[in-house]
Amino acid sequence: MLTILVISNNLLVNLEPNIFLTCTKTTEETHLYHLKEDSGCPDDWTRFGQQCFIFINSPKTWAEAESYCQFDGSNLASIHSYEENHFLQSLTRADTHNFPQAWIGGTDTMHFGLWTWSDGSRFLYENWSYKGKDGDADRCLKINYHSGFSSEWVFKLCCCVSHAFTLVNSEIS
């Protein structure tokens, strides 16, 4: 992060830890600016690891949300670790100041009980609130089943419920 501190007539720029550049500036005001590093993600997207994410607070069915993502060159988010799960919950909270239930990319529509991610990645991490066997076909995952920081997953019918959703795009420029 590039930090610029302006105090009276001096401009102090922190380029790297312990490296400062001092310049002269004509001003009587004090300002502190934090300029975001180029994350390699598109505008309004947030980088986590080697991927870019965005929360879309527009209710859609799971299939509509995945189609929206694919039109944008992305997929519904797949989750591969506790840290990534926590990050996605923080991303939804930052946008809504709450913990809304939101679609993620998990589904067992191809084979009942065999969960896959819509981006084709392996389904290795799980954070179920409960993993029932309710006999409904076409089930899809959503995050934030319980309010608060549990960020647990639950499945619902893909077709019949609309939720906000989180996209992931693995292309970082």
- pLDDT tens profile 106-146: 998 888 888 999 999 989 998 887 655 555 667 888 887 55
Q: Domain-by-domain residue ranges, the chain? A: 2-35, 46-169
3-state secondary structure string, the chain?
A: CEEEEEECCEEEEEEECCEEEEEECCCCCCEEEEECCCCCCCCCCEEECCEEEEEEEEEECHHHHHHHHHHCCCEECCCCCHHHHHHHHHHHHHHHCCCCCEEEEEECCCCCCCCEECCCCCCCCCCECCCCCCCCCCEEEEECCCCCCCCCEEEEECCCCCEEEEEEECCCC
Burial class from Cβ neighbours inside 10 Å (0-12, 13-18, 19+) for residue 167 reads buried
Residue 55 pLDDT level (bands cut at 50, 70, 90) = confident
Instruction: Pick the more confident residue, 98 or 87.
Output: 87
Residue 12 predicted with pLDDT over 70? no
- Mean pLDDT (the chain, rounded): 72
pLDDT of residue 8: 44
Domain 46-169 -> CATH class: alpha beta
170 in Cβ contact with 121 (< 8 Å):
no
Residue 105 predicted with pLDDT over 90? yes
Mean pLDDT of 7-17: 41
**Least confident interval from 64-78, 98-112, 136-150:** 136-150
pLDDT of residue 39: 72
Spatial distance between the Cα atoms of 161 and 45, rounded to a whole number of angstroms: 25
pLDDT of residue 57: 85
- Please give the structure tokens belonging to residue 171: 């292309």
Mean pLDDT of 140-160: 73
Residue 18 predicted with pLDDT over 50? no
76 in Cβ contact with 105 (< 8 Å):
yes
Residue 127 CB: number of other CB atoms within 10 A? 17
Percentage of the residues of the chain whose pLDDT score is greater than 90? 16
pLDDT of residue 80: 93
